Amino acid sequence: MIIGGGPAGLEAAYNIAINGYKVTILEKDNEIGGNIKKWVKLFPDFGDAAEIRKAFADKVNKGNIEIQTGVEISELYSENEKWFAKNGNNVIYSADAALLATGFEAFDARRKEELGYGIYDNVITSVDFEEMYKTGKILTAQGTVPKRIAFLNCVGSRDEKVGNHYCSRVCCINAVKQATEFKELVPDAEAYCFYMDMRMAGQFYEELYRKSQEKYNVNYIRGRISEAAATFDKRIQIKSEDTLTGLPMKMTVDILVLMVGIESSASTTELSRQNGINGEYGFAKSLGLYISDNLTKKAGLFLAGSCKRPLTLPETVADSRAASVQILNYLKLN
Amino acid sequence: MTETKKHFWNEYQKEIAEDNFFYERSCIRQSFFPGSETIFLKILTDDLGKNIIDDPNQHTCTGIGYHSDVVPFDTTMTVVGRLFSLMKDSGVRNYVPSCVTSFGVFTEVVETWKHFPEELEKTRDNLRKATGREFDIPENIAHPSDIIYKYRKELKEKMKYQLVNRHTGKPLKVVEHIGCHYGKIFSKHAVGGAEFPQVLAGMIEEWGGEVVDYPERRHCCGFGFRQYLVMANRGYSVANTKKKFESMKPYKPDFIVANCPGCAMFMDRWQYTIAEMEGITYDDNKMGIPVLTYEEMAGMLLGYNPWDLGLQIHQVQVEQLLDKIGIEYNPDDKFIGKSGKYLGEPEKPENLVVDYGK
């Protein structure tokens, strides 16, 4: 029984099913795919998200995988070495083992009130950017082509004020990707990325970061934005400090994109709490980081993907395969 | 107001006592806006029927000295302790400081005592040794603007006027400005929090006006204590005020309302200074943008005589605003004192036009 039909859940379902076990995927949305559904292209190589999603869907299109969508699990518990999941309508699903693959939710940018998300129409999030990018255009709320856009990193990450000290790990490179995409659409516009540190640790990240500057002329400013406010003509005035020059700066942009961080999903937090595996910041806690990262202190309950911590898509897939092996071992031995 | 704004403002609701208040007057407000404190007491007692103590033995909270780094925090805590001892003597438990900086001082001191109980004991000891007095920590500390906000609906029912332009029927556009020490020390003590404070916005919207959300809404009024108190820094003070006015100008605000003595004072008086320095004003008629305290705004709409509210003491003359709303006033009484004596008229500046209306 896999709770969550995103990349982690789908990859695990495939790997367990081809070993001859019956798998049930319980997905709260009406479609499988998880957070990939919201993306158009993926960093760092601009892979087509729809194609990748389709590849996942094809993998789980097998006779011994049952997919239940629109099922939000509210209770997860074990009795007599069996695992049970109950939804809001008191429908109970049972299995010999359970995999928590409940993923992440994007940080709710309204919590950073000073940045004006949900108040000013031209302040959007990186998730909204993707939604707009699906249309093939990036336009202001007034329907005009932006002449200047700013991306702000670390919205909801590395931020004591909102209680998230951790780095979400994907936002820096995603800002580079989205700034590049914007410049491809509107070559004459100016694009600025405000950052604390550019964490380009993944393969090909540094190359894309460099390309964004050399080929697309994206400007990177080391500083957080302290506040955003709408001007009379509905543009966004932002204040920051360029910490490399030590000077305060004020700028008006047509769109401000908030690179929202990764937070534990509500399901992750609640189901982890019910089973005593709740870790830091609402994420699920594995038994150990090095050799038992997919196990929990509850026999038969496993973890995969970003329900544990922020992970990229390739990391999630690899982690899900590792979880599959642990589940197969468990099923064989019990 | 969008739903989102409402959503977050609702998270920052604070507890405001209903009755039985101890009022502490401001050091400077009685000379800056001589009618405001009196009218607040009248509104509370006459219009709302509340009990509020106005103790003649009260004194400074040290706020200006404290925020100018000339009064040490130990002294401030002891002086605050003495004010709380006066409240204890009066028998009420809800403290209401007129000044926003006093409000900031009290919330800061009480929060300090909560986290460092040894500081509370030290303060009790210091006060005992110096005066033999004892004090209790108030059950509730609220700024008077909180109380007016809390009773804004009840007051609306008694109001003779609304914040509506009688010529156009449209809501007046109002710039609201919150003192830094109201919400920026502890946003949890501000109605609506520090980013989108609701305390004045709530009054404006309830009473028919429209809040102007301009880019420099959160920017300092220009007072900033040491920006002004140190004479060499006064250029910063004027520059900050100028930045705000340039930002609000395109919205053509009808007036400004503030809940801090310094903010109302400087946004009013620096308009004259900027007009003299640069020959500019921020309205279309060269008369400046009137600046009111929230008590003056409430009193004006309740139908109190504008000259009893002390509106004639402002730098930017208010007749343009009174005429827009349709408030009745007698221009001949403007400079007649409470004793009935003619007080004389101030000089009329060249660049900030004075028109006494009617």
Q: Is the pLDDT assigned to residue B50 strictly greater than 80?
A: yes
Q: Is the pLDDT assigned to residue B4 strictly greater than 60?
A: no
Q: Is the pLDDT assigned to residue A260 strictly greater than 80?
A: yes
Q: Which residues of A touch B196 (CB under 8 A)?
A: 113, 119
Domains, chain B, in order of start with CATH, read: 15-144 (1.20.1050.140), 145-333 (3.40.50.11810)
pLDDT digits (tens, 9 = 90+) for A180-198: 999 999 999 999 999 999 9
pLDDT digits (tens, 9 = 90+) for A23-47: 999 999 999 999 999 999 999 999 9
The conformation of residue B164, written as its DSSP 8-state character, comes to: B
pLDDT digits (tens, 9 = 90+) for B122-140: 999 999 999 999 999 999 9
Q: Is the pLDDT assigned to residue B358 strictly greater than 60?
A: no
Select from B4, B250, B251 the Cβ nearest to the Cβ of A119: B4
Residue of A nearest to B250 (CA): A232
pLDDT digits (tens, 9 = 90+) for B38-48: 999 999 999 99
Q: Which of B84, B87, B98, B93 is nearest to B40 (CA)?
A: B98
pLDDT digits (tens, 9 = 90+) for B145-203: 999 999 999 999 999 999 999 999 999 999 999 999 999 899 889 998 888 899 999 99
Residue of A nearest to B248 (CA): A232
Of the candidate ranges B1-5, B6-10, B83-87, B269-273, the one whose mean pLDDT is the lowest: B1-5
DSSP string, B276-345: HHHS--SSTTSS---EEEHHHHHHHHHT--TTTTTGGGSSS--HHHHHHHT----GGGTTB-TTS-B---
pLDDT at residue B193, rounded to an integer: 87
pLDDT digits (tens, 9 = 90+) for A138-157: 999 999 999 999 999 999 99
- B216 touches A: beta carbon within 8 Å: yes
pLDDT at residue B355, rounded to an integer: 79
The conformation of residue B255, written as its DSSP 8-state character, comes to: E
What is the SS3 assignment for B22?
A: strand
What does the alpha-carbon distance between residue B163 and residue A237 come to, in Å, rounded to a whole number? 29
- Fold equal for A2-103+265-333 and A109-262: yes
How much of chain A exceeds pLDDT 90, in percent? 98
Q: Is the pLDDT assigned to residue B357 strictly greater than 90?
A: no
CB B116 within 8 A of CB B164: no
- pTM recorded for the entire structure: 0.91
Q: Which of A312, A109, A129 is nearest to A225 (CA)?
A: A109
Q: Please state, in angstroms and as integers, the Cα–Cα distance from residue B334 to each residue in A269, A279, B137, B318, B339, following that order.
A: 65, 68, 43, 11, 13
Averaged confidence pLDDT in chain B:
93
pLDDT at residue B289, rounded to an integer: 98
CB B358 within 8 A of CB B330: no
As a whole number of angstroms, the longest Cα–Cα distance in chain A is 68
What does the alpha-carbon distance between residue A82 and residue A30 come to, in Å, rounded to a whole number? 27
State whether A231 and B217 contact (CB < 8 Å). no
What is the SS3 assignment for B140?
A: strand
Helix axes of A205-214 and A171-185: crossing angle, nearest 10 degrees: 30
pLDDT at residue B338, rounded to an integer: 85
What does the alpha-carbon distance between residue A74 and residue A78 come to, in Å, rounded to a whole number? 14
Q: Which CATH architecture has domain A109-262?
A: 3-Layer(bba) Sandwich (3.50)
pLDDT at residue B350, rounded to an integer: 87
Instruction: Give, for B173, the enclosing helix (H) or strand (E).
Output: strand B173-177
Name which CATH class applies to A2-103+265-333. alpha beta
Strand ordering across the sheet containing A92-95? A73-79, A82-87, A92-95
How much of chain B exceeds pLDDT 70, in percent? 96
What does the alpha-carbon distance between residue B327 and residue B358 come to, in Å, rounded to a whole number? 12
Residue with tokens 């509020």: B52
* Structure token digits, residue B286: 């060269």
HEC readout, chain A = CEECCCHHHHHHHHHHHCCCCCEEEEECCCCCCHHHHHCCEECCCCEEHHHHHHHHHHHCCCCCEEEEECCCEEEEEEECCEEEEEECCCCEEEECCEEECCCEEECCHHHCHHHCCCCCCCEEEHHHHHHHHCCCCCCCCCCCCCCEEEEEEEECCCEHHHCECCCCCCHHHHHHHHHHHHHHHCCCCEEEEEECCCCCCCCCHHHHHHHHHHCCCCEEEECCEEEEEECCCCCEEEEEEECCCCEEEEEEECEEEEEECEEECHHHHHHHHHCCCECHHHCECCCCCCCCCCECCCCCEEECHHHCCCCCHHHHHHHHHHHHHHHHHHHHHC
What is the SS3 assignment for B7?
A: helix
Domain ranges of chain A: 2-103+265-333, 109-262
What does the alpha-carbon distance between residue B95 and residue B24 come to, in Å, rounded to a whole number? 8
Chain A interface, Cβ < 8 Å to B: 110, 113-114, 118-119, 227, 229-232, 237
pLDDT at residue A78, rounded to an integer: 97
Q: Is the pLDDT assigned to residue A333 strictly greater than 60?
A: yes
What does the alpha-carbon distance between residue A9 and residue A281 come to, in Å, rounded to a whole number? 22
Phi, psi (deg, nearest 5) at residue A243: -75, -10
pLDDT tier at B229, thresholds 50, 70, 90: confident
pLDDT tier at B6, thresholds 50, 70, 90: low
pLDDT at residue B225, rounded to an integer: 85
Q: Region B341-351: what's the mean pLDDT?
A: 90
Q: Which residues of B touch A232 (CB under 8 A)?
A: 214, 250-251
Q: Which of residues 224-263 of B touch A (CB under 8 A)?
A: 250-251
State whether B8 and A110 contact (CB < 8 Å). yes
Q: Which residues of A touch B218 (CB under 8 A)?
A: 227, 229
pLDDT at residue B8, rounded to an integer: 59
pLDDT digits (tens, 9 = 90+) for A98-131: 999 999 999 999 999 999 999 999 999 999 999 9
pLDDT digits (tens, 9 = 90+) for A196-228: 999 999 999 999 999 999 999 999 999 999 999
Select from B2, B218, B250 the Cβ nearest to the Cβ of A119: B2
Of the candidate ranges B12-21, B177-186, B219-228, the one whose mean pLDDT is the lowest: B219-228
pLDDT at residue A20, rounded to an integer: 95
pLDDT digits (tens, 9 = 90+) for B51-80: 999 999 999 999 999 998 899 999 999 999
pLDDT tier at B354, thresholds 50, 70, 90: confident
Averaged confidence pLDDT in chain A:
97
pLDDT at residue B9, rounded to an integer: 59
State whether A110 and B251 contact (CB < 8 Å). no
Q: Is the pLDDT assigned to residue B5 strictly greater than 80?
A: no
Q: Is the pLDDT assigned to residue B11 strictly greater than 70?
A: no
Q: Is the pLDDT assigned to residue B317 strictly greater than 70?
A: yes
Q: Is the pLDDT assigned to residue A327 strictly greater than 60?
A: yes
Q: Is the pLDDT assigned to residue A62 strictly greater than 90?
A: no
pLDDT tier at B142, thresholds 50, 70, 90: very high
Q: Region B96-119: what's the mean pLDDT?
A: 97
CB B160 within 8 A of CB B302: yes
Q: Region A162-174: what's the mean pLDDT?
A: 97
Length of chain A: 334
pLDDT digits (tens, 9 = 90+) for A5-18: 999 999 999 999 99
Q: Which residues of B touch A235 (CB under 8 A)?
A: none
CB A110 within 8 A of CB A117: yes
Residue with tokens 């990349």: A7
State whether A229 and B216 contact (CB < 8 Å). yes
Q: Are strands B255-258 and A148-155 parallel, antiparallel or unpaired?
A: unpaired
Amino acid residing at A215: K
